[in-house]
Amino acid sequence: MEKYIIHGQKPLIGDVHISGSKNAAVAIIPAALLVAGKCRIENVPDIGDVKALMDILVNLGAEVEYEDENTLAINAENVNTYIATYEMVKSLRASYYIIGALLGRFGHAEVPFPGGCDFGYRPIDQHIKGFEALGAEVSIEHGIIKAKAERLTGASIYLDVVSVGATINLMLAAVKAEGVTVIENAAKEPHVVDVANFLNAMGANIRGAGTDVIKIKGVDRLNGGTTHSIIPDQIEAGTFMIAGAANGNCITVKNVIPKHMESLTAKLTEMGVKVEVIEDSIRVTGAGKILRANIKTLPYPGFPTDLHPQTAALLCLAGGTSIITEGIWDSRFQYVEELKRMGAAIKVEGRVAVIEGVKNLTGAPTKAIDLRAGAALVIASLLAKGKSEISNINYIDRGYENLEFKLKALGANIKRVSV
Ligand code: EPU
């Protein structure tokens, strides 16, 4: 077990290089199971969730090796099982992509229900509805999702809710189905587009990713030999932009796609923070006093739910009352009790948090409850007076590459210690 010790209120100044997108990587790595050949994936973030997925692929019989620190070579030629065990998938939400990938490759998948961060009910009914529309018989027995089809056939699928996971999983299952699949009310997140680009590079025929109608014309085979570079992580970039927004800080977030950051850029500007786009970098200069703001999280291009807790931490020091409405998850407010230990004044009612700006946060012992809640505590600790300790940082390691090294390079006083 490890924890962070942070002494707050040190100015954060300088450049930070953003790693590859976690949520693209955790879909693209399983997507490599679709082809009986080798693919190279560049700009893979070195994070816990990627390691967990690599283990799953190795256990299924794939060869997975690092060519360098951030380039993975995956050869799934020898994978000859469609069964994943509970031990393999229990810690990882994105293990649901193994279902779509194995179903797409073998017409058969048996995968236990996924694990992952707990912020309320996380159903996968839309994934299942889509697999069934493609002709799979799906049953749930003893906690295992079993999907089987003689032949997958293209279908028109309207998603009842905009779901990133269902959109990607249905692309994986449909790439080799017979005929045309249309996913309507599809998610438009940047990582959906990245996965489609990876599949197209292997010979798939997917059009419309990034809009709410995706058309997939099934192909007979996919080809190995592809190299794909993962897009920069929108949420890591946003986390550093939020860290840069405090008084006295000036952070240039490098290697980003500024278009992906527009909803955050607009909100930070509304809060009085200076945000400048310079090609593929964004410079954030902290505001003397953060102005209050209201936020509602929505599917892309709306404000991302995965930046909600970090933004809440910043708004704790705003002048006046801010309101955050969570539009995606039932229960994403578990970070609130931890921020209160640091002097935050937040009330939660249903899916709404009312944040009264306070003069100061003060360092305290806290616990990361999930990945982005952990990131929020890091931001709060950087803003707070004195010493904070954050335990359970294994959650943070699941999704942020070298967070403390990147923060230290900017001037933060942060240390990882073993407990
Ligand atoms: N939903 C359903 N039925 C489904 C699927 C989803 O009702 O079959 C609902 C969910 O309950 C939720 C909404 O639809 O209310 C959106 O869920 P979505 O399927 O989009 O979420 P996800 O694919 O499970 C991904 C990210 C999350 C991120 C959400 C929303 C990955 C591996 N995870 O989850 O990222 O919060 O999209 O953008 O891509 C994180 O990175 O910290 C993280 C949790």
C-alpha span between 118 and 257 (Å, rounded): 29
- Helix or strand run (H / E) with residue 192: helix 190-201
Task: Using CB atoms within 10 Å of the CB of residue 291, give its burial: 0 to 12 exposed, 13 to 18 middle, 19+ buried.
Answer: middle
Q: Which atom of ligand 1 is nearest to the CA of 189?
A: 38
In the prediction, which pLDDT does 419 show?
87
pLDDT at 113: 84
State in Å: Cα 58 to ligand 1 middle: 26
* Cα(317) to centroid(ligand 1), Å: 29
pLDDT at 117: 55
Give, for ligand 1, the residue of 50, 161, 239, 401 to mutate: max count of ligand atoms closer than 8 Å to Cβ. Answer: 161
pLDDT of residue 89: 84
User: Which pLDDT value is given to residue 9?
Assistant: 97
Q: Which is the closest atom of ligand 1 to the Cα of 165?
A: 23
Which residues are 211's β-sheet partners? 209
The residue nearest atom 28 of ligand 1, judged by CA position, is 306
Distance 96 CA to ligand 1 centre (A): 11
What is the reported pLDDT for 121?
Answer: 66
| Helix (H) / strand (E) containing 66 | strand 63-68
Q: Is residue 413 within 8 Å of 10, Cβ to Cβ?
A: yes
Q: What percentage of the chain exceeds 90 in pLDDT? A: 92
* Predicted local confidence at residue 377, as pLDDT: 98
Measuring from atom 14 of ligand 1, which residue has the nearest CA? 163
> Atom 43 (ligand 1): residue with closest C-alpha?
306
Per-residue pLDDT in tens (0 to 9) along the chain, 419 residues? 899 999 999 999 999 999 999 999 999 999 999 999 999 999 999 999 999 999 999 999 999 999 999 999 999 999 999 999 888 888 787 889 999 999 999 999 999 987 655 656 678 999 999 999 999 999 999 889 999 999 999 999 999 999 999 999 999 999 999 999 999 999 999 999 999 999 999 999 999 999 999 999 999 999 999 999 999 999 999 999 999 999 999 999 999 999 999 999 999 999 999 999 999 999 999 999 999 999 999 999 999 999 999 999 999 999 999 999 999 998 899 999 999 999 999 999 999 999 999 999 999 999 999 999 999 999 999 999 999 999 999 999 999 999 999 999 999 999 999 98
Beta strands, E only, 70-171: 71-75, 108-112, 137-141, 144-148, 156-158
Report the amino acid identity of residue 123.
Answer: P
- Continuous H helices in 40-163: 48-59, 86-89, 96-106, 125-133
The model's pLDDT over 136-153, given as tens digits with 9 standing for 90+, comes to 999 999 889 999 999 999
Ligand 1 centroid, distance to 419 Cα (angstroms): 32
**165 CA → ligand 1 middle, Å:** 6
pLDDT tens per residue, range 54-85: 999 999 999 999 999 999 999 999 999 999 98
Q: Which atom of ligand 1 lies closest to the CA of 26? A: 32
What is the pLDDT, as a whole number, of residue 50?
96
Please name which of 21, 40, 23 lies closest in space to residue 32, comparing C-alpha atoms. Answer: 40
| Residue of 122, 168, 331, 398 best suited for mutating to test ligand 1, as the one with most atoms within 8 Å of CB | 122
> Has 250 been annotated as catalytic?
no
Quote the pLDDT of residue 64. 97
Length of the chain: 419
Name the closest-CA residue to atom 35, ligand 1.
306
Q: Could you report the per-residue pLDDT of 381-408, keeping only the tens digit for each?
A: 999 999 999 999 999 999 999 999 999 9
pTM score: 0.97
pLDDT of 115 reads: 66
Q: Which residues contact ligand 1 via a Cβ below 6 A?
A: 22-23, 26, 93-94, 117, 122-127, 161, 163-166, 187, 235, 305-306, 328-329, 371-372, 399
**Residue from 39, 117, 250, 316 carrying the catalytic annotation:** 117
Inter-CA distances, 346 with 312, 313, 325, 349, Å: 9, 10, 13, 10
Q: Which residue, by CA, sits nearest to atom 5 of ligand 1?
A: 124
